[in-house]
Chain A
Amino acid sequence: MRAIRHPGPPLEPRLLTARSDTSQEFAIELGAGADLLATLADALERLGVDTAGIRFAGGNLDRIGFVTGVIDPTGYRIATHSAPAYLEGPILLIGGSAILGRESAERLRLHCHAAFVAADGAARSGHLLPGCCPVGTGGARAFVTSTGNAQFAVVFDAETNFPLMQPVARA
């Protein structure tokens, strides 16, 4: 197992954790025309949920926009995202996971990786882009676990030079 050296010094602890003794479960159905990620985040925010783990349980998309991981040619970071790829539907969303967290006082972040079958019949997977994945006929479904007193919040990480979601205990 090889170790990668990131641009900044290794930070401790290597495992960051926030614990909650409470959580809630939700099932969400998204209808045709909704944006997969933005509509999901909006629905959860209206319920007062700003941190959650999400499991997609299949769905249909009219279009999909996604990126993958590539080496950062500038060296500022060890890696960056590829140029966005856009595929026209019908796209079958097989499954995936997302983490909802707080990016700022006004804004949530939904970090989503998912697997799907494109119109050409090929299975692919990657990092989905908010605002680029309209739900198609038949809708899409997700199960959500909210995290009670444990919150994910975006923090600049000086080891990797990325703003990343990290767990914090809610005040």
Chain B
Amino acid sequence: MTAVVTAGRFGRLLAVRVRPNLDLTLGIEALCADHGVRHAEVRAAVGSLTDAVLVTANGRRTIAGPGLEIALTAGRVAPDESGQPRAQLYGLVSDGDGRPYGGAFARGENPVFVTLELILQEWLPDRQAT
């Protein structure tokens, strides 16, 4: 099996502001838990982080801020083994000189600096197509 395709549709949409010092990933997970959202996709996210910890194939990298701009965020939320929403987020942040750094956002280690504006949308899987 090289691909699993799941048909589905988008459901409820959440417009969100995350205040300072809350972790990006934990904030999204808490939001989904509060609203009973099991699966979701990040549709857009703009904001800043105090510092960033990004994970790549080469390991973990800490980018010291404060004031790293989040230029790109992609990711999804899906339930873990216990049914709790877990977010896996990937993206690009830039430092004060505009230098970009990319990777997966380490859970619990990417605090919002001033604000994060986020649009998250529920994904409602219908069935596994193949």
Contacts and interface: CB of A to CB of B under 8 A. Distances in A.
Contacts of A13: 19
B12 interface: yes
Contacts of A99: 44, 46, 117, 119
Interface residues of B, number: 54
Contact of A127 (B31, B66, B69, B111): B69
A112 B117 CA distance: 11
Contact of A97 (B72, B93, B115): B72
A70 B96 contact: yes
Interface residues of A, number: 62
Interface centre among B16, B22, B44 (most CB of A within 10 A): B44
B35 interface: yes
Where chain B touches its partner, the secondary structure class is strand
Interface string A2-42: 11101000110111111111110000000000000000000
Nearest to B17: A16
B92 A20 contact: no
Contacts of B108: 1
Nearest to B99: A124
B15 A167 contact: yes
Given A69-B69, A82-B96, A145-B121, A4 B113 contact: yes
B15 A20 contact: yes
B119 A147 contact: yes
A6 B21 CA distance: 10
B114 A53 contact: no
A68 interface: yes
B66 A1 contact: no
A148 interface: yes
Given A14-B22, A99-B44, A164 B27 contact: no
Contact of A18 (B15, B23, B65): B15
A125 B20 contact: no
A151 B117 CA distance: 12
Interface centre among A71, A96, A99, A151 (most CB of B within 10 A): A99
Interface string B90-103: 00111111111000
Interface string B49-83: 01100000000000001111111110000000000
A149 to B, nearest CB: 9
A160 B67 CA distance: 13
* A-B residue pairs, 5 tightest by C-beta: A53-B44, A69-B67, A53-B119, A125-B71, A125-B94
6 contacts: A4-B113, A14-B19, A15-B30, A68-B95, A99-B119, A127-B69
